[in-house]
């Protein structure tokens, strides 16, 4: 085997090792997220899920949510006059941590407002479940503690009444159907 063949084989083994390590981190993150919350749950996922940490499904307190990969983006919304920075976890990462199996996520707010979000939305964009607004926790009176938010400024095609209606504030439950 020539020198380039040895180098190529080493690169392939290194790449495979890195992929396995990354997969291990994702699995470990999902396992940590599945631990029962120490504090009062902010969010519960029910329905078609593989991972549960209690009889009601998979519950998350804030520290459990913060163990998942985080994202921040700024966007304008119909309810804020200027762009605001949101920080949280991608909906697709949250669904992966739950082992979600379904086509639709029914998001339910504290006031029992309900809206169905196609799983495709989570795959096609960085839809987020946010707990920080401009780097500060969101109180209930300011749409918190959790909000489903779309990257409206990054993807102008999301600036529709349908997508604005899917941006649920005061989120408490995700029901996978």
| Mean pLDDT confidence for 62-79 | 96
What percent of the chain is predicted at pLDDT more than 90?
Answer: 75
Q: What are the percentages of helix, strand and coil residues in the chain, rounded to 5?
A: 35, 35, 30
Between β-strands 43-47 and 171-176, what pairing exists: parallel, antiparallel or unpaired?
parallel
pLDDT in tens, 136-151: 999 999 999 999 999 9
Local confidence band at 174 (pLDDT 50, 70, 90 cut-offs): very high
Q: In which band, very low, low, confident or very high, does the pLDDT at 12 lie, cut at 50, 70 and 90?
A: very low
Question: What is the rounded average pLDDT for all residues in the chain?
Answer: 86
> Residue 68, SS3?
coil
List pLDDT tens digits, range 81-133: 899 999 999 999 999 999 999 999 999 999 999 999 999 999 999 999 999 99
pLDDT of residue 81: 84
Return the domain boundaries, the chain. 34-176
State the average pLDDT over residues 4-24: 43
Q: Among positive and negative, which fits the CA dihedral 174, 108, 73, 68?
A: negative
pLDDT reported for residue 27: 43
- CATH domain 34-176 topology: Sulfite Oxidase; Chain A, domain 2 (3.90.420)
């Amino acid at each position: 085997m020539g020198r380039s063949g040895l180098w190529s084989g080493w690169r392939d083994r290194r790449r495979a090792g890195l992929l396995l390590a990354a997969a291990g981190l994702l699995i470990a993150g999902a396992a940590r997220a599945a631990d029962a919350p120490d504090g009062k749950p902010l969010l519960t996922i029910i329905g078609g899920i593989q991972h549960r940490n209690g009889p009601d499904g998979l519950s998350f307190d804030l520290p459990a949510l913060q163990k998942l990969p985080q994202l921040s983006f700024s966007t304008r919304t119909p309810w804020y006059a200027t762009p605001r920075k949101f920080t949280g976890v991608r909906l697709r990462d949250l669904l992966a941590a739950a082992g979600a199996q379904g086509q639709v996520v029914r998001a339910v707010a504290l006031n029992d407002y309900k809206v169905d979000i196609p799983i495709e939305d989570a795959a096609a964009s960085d839809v987020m479940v946010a707990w920080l607004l401009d780097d500060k926790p969101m109180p209930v009176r300011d749409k918190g503690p959790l909000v489903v938010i779309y990257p409206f400024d990054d993807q102008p095609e999301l600036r529709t009444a349908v997508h604005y209606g899917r941006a649920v504030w005061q989120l408490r439950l995700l029901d996978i159907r």
